[in-house]
Structures are given as C-alpha cells and as structure tokens.
Amino acid sequence: MKILKTTLFAMAVVMCGGVQAQGLKDAYKDYFSVGVAVNMGNMNNEKHIDIIKTNYNSVTAENDMKPGSVQPNEGEWNWRNADAIANFCRENGIKLRGHCLVWHSQVGRWMFQDVDASGNSVQAAARRNSMRG
C-alpha cells in the first residue's frame, strides 16, 4: 500500500507541473533514476508490478537481500526471493541495487556468536569466509 500511495502522490505532482501523464522514470529520465524498494509481496501483486514497470527504473530489494533472508543459518543459503527480484529486474531492464551487507537487525543469530554449532571457537577470518558463501 505504501508503494501505491507514494507513486500516486508523485504522479500527481508531475501531472500538476504540466507534464503529460507518463511514468516517473520517463518524466525524470534526463535528470536521475527513480527507484523503489520492493519485496516479494510486491512481486506477487500485478498492480504493484504494473506500477513498478511504469514508474521506476531502479529497484532495491527491501528485505529479501538482507542477511537474515539470504543466510538465516550458517551455511544455509536461500536465494529464492533475491533471485526472483533479480530476474524481474533483468527481464524488464530495471537496475537492481543490493540493500545492505550487514544490518543491525534481520541477520541470523549465528553471525554474532563466537562459536559454531558444534561449540568450537570461530576465528574472525573463518567468520568472514563463511559470509562469502
């Protein structure tokens, strides 16, 4: 709903400025990219997809590329949602930006432990290596 409200407001501003009705990305193509944060809820909603395709030329995966989604447990990788968003962007010529490498929340608890699942001490280099995948 937030994406819809933001888009409608921005479109109203553009239309009041005397610009023909067009997508935000087209109205500002000579100045900058227009982006939006998305999640799988948006990707599964045809109205949201239409709004994204019409108005945005840059996408940031809201939570689906955060560590807690991609690697919830050490060594357990889940790229399904991230890949779906990346494929959508690739198929529609939309730039994709990653959200973050480390976040204060939405990370697997294992990232803050000094021992692995077996109780063995984890060195900093080993921890960095495990995050590389």
Domain ranges of the chain: 2-132
Query: How would you write the pLDDT of the chain (133 residues) with one tens digit per residue?
Result: 666 656 655 655 555 555 457 999 999 999 999 999 999 999 999 999 999 999 999 999 999 999 888 988 888 999 999 999 999 999 999 999 987 777 777 877 777 667 666 767 766 666 667 667 6
Residues 6+ apart with CB under 8 A from 82: 61, 64, 65, 69, 70
Among the four given CATH numbers 3.20.20.80, 3.30.750.24, 3.30.70.2500, 3.40.640.10, the one describing domain 2-132: 3.20.20.80
- Residue 11 tokens, joined: 């479109």
Give the model's pLDDT for residue 108: 76
